[in-house]
Structure 1
């Protein structure tokens, strides 16, 4: 049995796009880690909250999930983002991976894009 829930991952993108951060935070474990190659890793809910509430350079955008695959405790996503980054309109592809813990919370998250920062 797996705790990886593709609907939780779809909800994550809806919550980000709607700026419903409290609902978003409820999807993640308190000891969540978030890795974005080329950028600083985030460790723990305090850093994760600070990133989304104060430091995230992307805004006013929409995620489109193109492909979603569940494998064991992980949900992989390929998608597109269109929105604003640091005041400039952007559009780019991304690949995200979400690993769930035994409680059904997202414990680890990885994002890959061709952008310098996201």
Structure 2
């Protein structure tokens, strides 16, 4: 008896949304090409605990070359939810741009459910 893992079908809009997030957050930074050649890169998974500080503070610490925001936990069927554990969503775009201006890549993790 073979096991079958089936994914819930994603709509074209959901696929497009994920692709846009990846392109916008990873490749929008002019400094992203320079980071590829660096050694000692450190990536942090940010957004799971409100006490960890803001995204801007993480980028200003100088400790990270990439921040992965956690996470887009609902998407598709015209429903989207960004779960960043109590961090305010207002101003998040400005914080992302601030991080990119400092040469810190920002990416978005997504949740997978069946």
| Structure with more helix by fraction | 2
Length-normalised TM-score, structure 2: 0.30
Greater Rg over alpha carbons, structure: 2
Ranked by relative contact order (alpha carbons within 8 Å, sequence separation 6 or more), the top structure is 2
